[in-house]
Structure 1
Amino acid sequence: MSAVDYEVEYNNRARVPEHPALIEGWARDAAAYRAQHAPRRIAYGPGNRHSIDLFESGEGPIVVFIHGGYWQALDGSFFSHCARGLNAHGVSVAVPSYDLCPEITIADIIGQIRDASRELARLGRPLVMSGHSAGGHLAACMLATDWPAFDASLPKRPVMSAYSISGLFELAPLVETSINRALRLDAAAAEAASPLFWRPPAGTALDAVVGETESAEYHRQSRAIVEQWGAAGVATRYGVVAAANHFTAIAPLADPDSAMVTRLRELARG
């Protein structure tokens, strides 16, 4: 038995008691930004949640922000304000929503984000994937996807790079936690959905950053993919968001002058 208490390490809401106020703040700030900068709505499937809010600002590559919530909570409407920092510099940002566990599986969600990415790629603009928590996992999955096998009509590499904030890349530690009640992962499904074990997308770039006060497991996860993918030819970086917890780690996205926005601009320039 592992000496690590995974329930404690991965229960972010218990680790950050003030999380309800922080999530309410997301919703408030997101609504205010949508009122200021109305997005273009793009459907990528038939369901109510199969949509993308595209906050347009410039004609270059699109940065995609994929929301978190342990694949079982929230939607893109909580995160519209995460487009503010990049929009201020003329970079367009797309925020997709997706169906949630337990109604579907994590493998299904990966497929939905691939569908959303395909719809965006059809606009003829390269994509930079970013995401928070479960969204960080999905961003890495998109970078490592074999796109020609998924859809031969797409460019060979529609996704240029990825920037994961508090991402999860190895899902086995979640299997014995309360988080798995909705995910319904067994060992095989957890491994299959873990991009740490996928073929590293050599020739691309991945940044994995974590809030300074997050659990040791979150830091381990990001260091692991940086080391493993980096050894296989991916240009990787590990970073820390100073003084941030799991819920405040995304705050720099709304600040045009933040180091996070500066780095995403660099990735968008290729």
Structure 2
Amino acid sequence: MPITDWDDAYANAAHIPGAERFLADWPARTAALRDLHPPEVLRYGPGARQMIDLFRPETAVQGLTVVVHGGYWMRFSPDEFGFLAGGPLARGQAVAALRYTLATEARIAEITREIAAAIRVAAAAVPGPIHLTGHSAGGHLVTRMVCEGVLEDAVAARIGHVLSVSGVHDLRPLLRTGMNATLRLDAAEAAAESPALLLPRPGVRVTCAVGADERPEFRRQTDLLANVWWGLGAETRAVHLPGLHHFDVIDGLAAPDGALTRLLLDQSRS
């Protein structure tokens, strides 16, 4: 049946028992990681949130992993999602957890430009291949980075793999939601910022992962990008992870042998 309640289609917490527990746990997990691995702070612009938390591994650096948090472009920061650095960090990756201006102050097109600027700064600080991953809105932002015309060739050529976790790849449905009062999307910007409606860079490798127990709309958005970009010549695949929902699927990035860590790094083109 067609979706008629678009607010419900994108409501995650209302459909996850004990959702508050996950939200409360993330800052503590991040604080514990920071105690063990205090990050270096890099700036990529003058804005209050235009900063990068850069975690460096104790072993030789094998490359750079960029992590972009979710929260519908309106909430959260690396203060909550920094624990996702744990898996790649243990695998020898330097991990850049990005802060960006939230949609209460910036339009999504502006956030896209901020993420690109942050990746340029992180790439200059860390040599080797680059891996991009993001959750939910962050999944949108990392796939946006490998659309044509976003990053310059010198940086884009270093990107070995992109992992979008529960990403939103077509923004047009958000025009029908109450959250758009904050996002301020119009039809033109929604189309211009939707990776599924844009051309991928030649040779890009993208995995779209989603919890098999997530809302149907997130599963649809996952399959959509993998399908469309495959038809445009990109190397893509969609992975539905059994028994996981929107809030616990990201645990697979926090451990070196986690499902998402393996998807991100083991499938990379170095």
Is the CA contact (8 Å cut-off) linking 1:143 and 1:160 kept in structure 2?
no
The answer for the alignment partner of 1:105 in structure 2 is 107
Is the CA contact (8 Å cut-off) linking 1:128 and 1:267 kept in structure 2?
no
Q: What's the offset of the Cα at 1:219?
A: 0.8
How many residue pairs were aligned?
267
The answer for the alignment partner of 1:173 in structure 2 is 173
* In the alignment, structure 1 residue 48 sits paired with structure 2 residue 51: no
The answer for the alignment partner of 1:140 in structure 2 is 143
Q: What's the offset of the Cα at 1:269?
A: 5.2
Whole-angstrom distance in 2 between the partners of 1:79 and 1:8: 24
Q: Structure 1 residues 267, 61: CA separation in 2 closer, same or farther (over 3 Å shift)? A: farther
Q: What 5-or-longer segments of structure 1 have no aligned partner? A: none
- Cα RMSD after superposing both structures: 1.8
Is the CA contact (8 Å cut-off) linking 2:213 and 2:245 kept in structure 1?
yes
Q: Summarize the alignment of residues 20-35 of structure 1 with structure 2, pairs less than 5 Å apart.
A: 20-35=20-35
The answer for the alignment partner of 2:234 in structure 1 is 234
Q: What's the offset of the Cα at 1:76?
A: 1.3
Whole-angstrom distance in 1 between the partners of 2:3 and 2:217: 12
TM-score by length of 1: 0.93
Whole-angstrom distance in 2 between the partners of 1:262 and 1:109: 28
Amino acid at match of 2:159: V
Amino acid at match of 1:108: E
Whole-angstrom distance in 1 between the partners of 2:240 and 2:62: 28
Amino acid at match of 1:117: I
Q: Which runs of 4+ in 1 moved over 4 A?
A: none
Whole-angstrom distance in 2 between the partners of 1:46 and 1:228: 37
SS at match of 2:256: coil
SS at match of 1:68: coil
Q: What's the offset of the Cα at 1:241?
A: 2.1
Amino acid at match of 1:52: I
The answer for the alignment partner of 2:70 in structure 1 is 68
Pick the aligned partner of 1:59 from 49, 58, 61.
61
Whole-angstrom distance in 2 between the partners of 1:3 and 1:262: 34
Whole-angstrom distance in 2 between the partners of 1:24 and 1:30: 11
Pick the aligned partner of 2:89 from 87, 90, 93.
87
Is the CA contact (8 Å cut-off) linking 2:164 and 2:209 kept in structure 1?
yes
Q: Summarize the alignment of residues 215-254 of structure 1 with structure 2, pairs less than 5 Å apart.
A: 215-254=215-254
Q: What 5-or-longer segments of structure 2 have no aligned partner? A: none
The answer for the alignment partner of 2:12 in structure 1 is 12
Whole-angstrom distance in 1 between the partners of 2:17 and 2:141: 26
